[in-house]
């Protein structure tokens, strides 16, 4: 069936502002391009400013690079304020995407790396969402938060003890944030991707173990970045106006498999 023009209009983000953390590579850079292609102005946040500048040049639209460490509360406040100063308004959409992995089994995991995983993947989502939501509430403005979780936060996964636990925390935070913020017209949902080749995992995915894992995914492949376009546009736009607290898995059926 051919979609009606109204269906396309629902995904139009013209005039909206989206702030994406972890935009210097992988999924975050792709989310920024997708939201920009739908008409949004984008704030590109990460530590590697040269990468963000390159992406802003590639997008060739309204894109503001913001050097920011998401584990640092002061940097978060400064990053959001810098975006406001640059464009004269708060973002309408926050994508909490920055994340790191620690491919270490539970018995071998070290305290410093475990702390880094939780600070980047979990605490940053807490701090970013809180800083953003307070600004929206003070301004009397509705907002949308999209947290990037993982199927590792849902299914048991060997060799990534802290990563999997941090993503389970993101899922639960998404639900509690949704519960507390709905009265302020702030919607909070999460995407739980399966395997997509990026800097975080390409070493593993190219290994014999990684290739064997991909064969066990019901759709027999890793995700293409384009596979995420529909869900990011759905959650960012008014097309999901009555969705909050939802966790959307995009994994080629991986969670359906018990292997």
Ligand X SMILES: NC(=O)c1ccc[n+]([C@@H]2O[C@H](COP(=O)([O-])OP(=O)(O)OC[C@H]3O[C@@H](n4cnc5c(N)ncnc54)[C@H](OP(=O)(O)O)[C@@H]3O)[C@@H](O)[C@H]2O)c1
Instruction: Note whether 100 binds ligand X by CB under 6 A.
Output: yes
Q: How far apart are the first and last CA of the chain?
A: 36
**How far is it, in rounded angstroms, from Cα 55 to Cα 35?**
13
Contact status, residue 29 vs residue 45, Cβ threshold 8 Å: no
Is position 167 annotated as part of the catalytic site?
yes
99 binds ligand X (CB under 6 A): yes
Least distance (Å) between residue 172 CB and ligand X: 16
Which 151-190 residues touch ligand X, going by CB under 6 A? none
State the angle between helix axes of 124-139 and 161-181 in degrees (0 to 180), rounded to the nearest 10: 20
User: Of the listed pieces 138-146, 197-205, 228-236, 240-248, which binds ligand X according to CB under 6 A?
Assistant: 197-205
Whether 215 is catalytic is no
Q: Do the beta carbons of residue 231 and residue 214 sit within 8 Å? A: no
Q: Which of 122, 150, 162, 249 binds ligand X (CB under 6 A)?
A: 150
> Which of 16, 83, 167, 195 is labelled catalytic?
167
What is each CA distance from 14 to 38, 73, 124, 153, 160, in whole angstroms?
7, 30, 28, 33, 39
The answer to whether residue 71 forms part of the interface with ligand X (CB under 6 A) is: yes
Q: Which of 160, 175, 168, 84 is nearest to 129 (CA)?
A: 175
Residue 72 or 238: the one with the smaller Cβ distance to ligand X is: 72
Nearer to ligand X, 185 or 206 (CB): 206
Dihedral in degrees, nearest 10, Cα atoms 149, 33, 93, 222: -20
Of 12 and 53, the one with the shorter C-beta distance to ligand X is: 53
Residue ranges in contact with ligand X by CB under 6 A: 21-22, 24-28, 46-48, 51, 68-71, 97-100, 120, 148, 150, 193, 195-196, 198-201
Catalytic residues: 163, 167
């Amino acid at each position: 069936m051919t979609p009606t023009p109204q269906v396309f209009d629902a995904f139009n983000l013209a005039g909206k502002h989206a702030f994406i953390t972890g935009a210097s590579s992988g999924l975050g850079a792709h989310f920024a391009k997708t939201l920009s292609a739908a008409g949004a102005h984008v704030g590109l946040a990460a530590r590697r400013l040269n990468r963000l500048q390159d992406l802003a040049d590639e997008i060739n639209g309204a894109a503001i690079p913001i050097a920011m460490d998401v584990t640092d509360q002061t940097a978060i406040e400064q990053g959001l304020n810098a975006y406001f100063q640059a464009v004269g308004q708060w973002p309408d959409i926050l994508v909490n995407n920055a994340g790191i992995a620690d491919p270490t089994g539970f018995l071998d995991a070290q305290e410093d790396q475990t702390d880094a995983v939780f600070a980047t993947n979990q605490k940053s989502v807490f701090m970013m969402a809180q800083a953003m939501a307070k600004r929206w509430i003070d301004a009397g403005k509705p907002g949308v938060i999209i947290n990037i979780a993982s199927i590792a936060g849902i299914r048991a996964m060997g060799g990534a003890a802290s990563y999997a636990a941090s993503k389970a925390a993101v899922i639960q935070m998404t639900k509690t944030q949704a519960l507390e913020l709905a009265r302020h017209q702030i919607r909070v949902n999460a995407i739980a991707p399966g395997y997509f080749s990026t800097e975080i995992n390409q070493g593993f995915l190219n290994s014999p173990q990684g290739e064997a894992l991909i064969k066990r995914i019901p759709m027999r492949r890793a995700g293409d970045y384009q596979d995420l376009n529909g869900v990011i546009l759905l959650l960012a736009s008014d097309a999901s106006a009555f969705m909050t607290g939802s966790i959307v898995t995009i994994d080629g059926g991986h969670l359906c498999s018990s292997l």
